[in-house]
Amino acid sequence: MSGTYLHLGLFLCILFVCCSATSSSSFASRRSILREVKNAVNHPDYAIELNGTNFDAVLKETPATFAVVEFFAHWCPACRNYKPHYEKVARLFNGPDAVHPGIILMTRVDCASKINTKLCDKFSVGHYPMLFWSSPSKFVGGGWDPKQDKNDIRVIDDARTADRLLSWINKQLGSSFGLDDQKFQNELLSSNVSDPGQIARAIYDVEEATSTAFDIILEHKMIKPETRASLIKFLQLLAAHHPSRRCRKGTAEFLVSFDDLYPTDFWSTKQEDDNSSIRNFKICGKDVPRGYWMFCRGSKNETRGFSCGLWVLLHSLSVRIEDGESQFTFNAICDFVHNFFICEECRQHFYKMCSSVTSPFNTAREFALWLWSSHNKVNERLMKEEASLGTADPNFPKTIWPPNQLCASCYKVLDQKSNKIEWNQDEVFKFLTDYYGKTLASLYKNRNMDGNDGAEGAGEDLIVATNAIVVPVGAALAIAVASCAFGALACYWRSQQKSRKPRRTWK
């Protein structure tokens, strides 16, 4: 009997100890989580933590001109003490609330993690923390060797505090950034109009403008039975000729699913209020919008930005189409602005210019020059309004485009006193094609693309027109060869079409 009590006592004792340990562990775990959440709220991390699996991809993808990589070890007391200093600088350049966005990407790599051993060895990390500086492309697949006399990647040798690190950066850039800088109270990205290479940075603004326009359409529930066809035409244009591959891909995906997302009975039911999958759709991918502008950034929050990005998008489309698509492109853009641009005065003025066109466009050159001329008319009107109201951006005033510094050969006669210009339209078209075509995509292509970018190499038979619109031959062919990566989408679309009954084509 006593043995039974002994075993029972031992069992209860063990149970008590286990329960106490579990309770204590659970409480400690909850307390730890709460502490982490509290710290995350009070001290958000702005620097991006990289590792051996995403290091090259992130640095290849970033639109930033420069990058800083900090190699550290999480167990290192000096690294923990340095982190607040590094974060003070990182908050100026990283994230959607960055004060100086698009200039520097601030990153960190934990060398104490085994996944990063080879990466840290490539950069000969000999102490912690150790900081490196270069353009992002130099880090991709690269490394640092202290024995080499010349390195594209530099060690930041004086960055013990936030003040010292920022001072070092200012010396490299010739800037005067301060730790107390607030958004839009800072130095701008270079506005040197004589540098044609700047337009290469606008590829990111074109993505931002595309995503913003799409979000506005969804937020304001602007897709209606009467606007459905015009949206599809514009999306077809983007799927074929958008300068960003990820926007072409996202647009194609949306078009493939369009009949499912917006069936004919969509507006007669409650689906419009419940369609969360549409609201969460990112037409240019999950990383866009980023929340800031680069080429199109104004000196104040309310200037340039979206309208600039949209104009660059339209010009980039105009120089990428074929002759047989010129009238289709004209109709698609005019209808899109008329139905989906929510600035009422701008919308009316643009559609008035569209309505003044009396004969169809036969060539891409004709349409590109019409869009260029129309943009200059808009600038002339806004120059007068902004001058009388004092609302012009002092750093980026409206001007006739292109200026003489960018294309002297575009001017036959330039009378500055009377402000009369006689244009050499052949040279203008040549400039537009290069500026909004090759140069616009150059930075994006070099940094983001491996292999073909655009309609090179025959791909799958992707005619993503949906049943609402008949696509012209040129656009259909452009979409068909846009990217063989869309092959799976094409197969899915074809299988869906086979299971559907034919519907009447919209006119």
Catalytic residues: 76, 79
301, with CB counted inside 10 A (0-12, 13-18, 19+), is exposed
The single residue listed with the structure tokens 């919209």 is 506
Residue type for 54, please? N
Q: From CA 236, how far away is CA 250, in angstroms rounded?
A: 11
SS3 sequence of 467-495: CCCCCCHHHHHHHHCCCHHHHHHHHHHHH
Q: Beta strands 130-134 and 154-155: pairing type?
A: antiparallel
CB 137 within 8 A of CB 98: no
Q: From CA 64, how far away is CA 185, in angstroms rounded?
A: 19
Whether the CA torsion 392, 396, 402, 407 is positive or negative: it is: positive
CB 146 within 8 A of CB 106: no
CA dihedral 18, 23, 28, 34 (to 10 degrees): 150
Which residues in 276-339 belong to E strands, given as ranges?
none
CB 468 within 8 A of CB 229: yes
Q: Which residues contact 62 (CB under 8 A, 6 or more apart)?
A: 105, 136
| Number of neighbours of residue 42 by Cβ within 10 angstroms | 7
Q: How many helices, marked H, and strands, marked E, lie in the chain?
A: 20, 7
Q: Which residues contact 47 (CB under 8 A, 6 or more apart)?
A: 70, 86, 87, 90, 94, 106, 107, 108
Cα 46–chain centre separation = 19
Q: From CA 248, how far away is CA 459, in angstroms rounded?
A: 14
Q: From CA 304, how far away is CA 459, in angstroms rounded?
A: 38
DSSP 408: G
Taking alpha carbons only, the member of 289, 144, 136, 274 closest to residue 210 is 289
Taking alpha carbons only, the member of 126, 131, 136 closest to residue 166 is 131
